[in-house]
Amino acid sequence: MEQRVSLVTIGVKNLAAIRDFYEKKFGWQPAAVNKDIVFYKISGALLSFFPEKDLAADAGLEVRQSSAGKFALGYLLKTEKEVDELYADLESKGVTIVKKPVKNFFGAYTGYVQDVEGNLWDVGYNPLIQLDEDHNVTVHEDIKHLEQ
C-alpha cells in the first residue's frame, strides 16, 4: 500500500450546516454533491462529509460520541503574515477561533479554529514543512533535534 491519502471522510450530524459553513465561511466549492454526501477537492485528495449515522452503518459500527480532541485537520500557509490575514478573515465571518496563533518552541506559528460541528482545524505556518506554489507539502525536515 502506498503512503498516501486519497479521501478523508468525516461523519457529521447536519450535512446542510456543514456545507453552509465550508462554502460560506471557507469559500470552498464542492467537487461533487448530492443530498447524502459532499466532496471537496483538497490538494490531490478529497475531503468528504457524510451523515455520521450512515458512515457508521456503512462500516457496520454503532455511532459513538466523538471528541473534538481526537483529530485536527491541518491547513498550512507560507508565512506568519498569511496566517494572521486568514485568521482575521475567518474571525470576520464568525468562525469560532479556539486558539489564536502563537509561536511555539520550534518556530511554528499556529492556532485552531472549529467548524460548526466542532471539528478542529490547525491553521498556521511551520518552518519545518516546505510547501510548493500550490501549498502542497513537499518536504518535512528532520525533527530528531526536537526530542526532549
- Residue 113: give its domain's CATH number: 3.10.180.10
Do 53 and 89 have their domain in common?
Answer: no
Where residue 22 falls (left for φ over 0; alpha for ψ -120 to 50; beta otherwise) is: alpha
With a cut of 90, say whether residue 64 has pLDDT above it. no
Comparing 106-110, 130-134, 143-147, the range with the smallest average pLDDT is 143-147
- Furthest-apart CA atoms within the chain: distance in Å: 49
Residue 25's domain comprises 1-66
Domain boundary among 40, 66, 92: 66
Which residue among 48, 66, 84 closes a domain? 66
Q: Which three cell numbers stand for residue 41?
A: 477537492
Helices (H), the chain: 15-20, 52-59, 80-92
pLDDT grade for 138, boundaries at 50, 70 and 90:
confident
- Cα–Cα distance measured from residue 104 to residue 94, given in angstroms and rounded to the nearest whole number: 26
Mean pLDDT of the chain: 90
- Assess whether 29 and 88 both reside in one domain: no
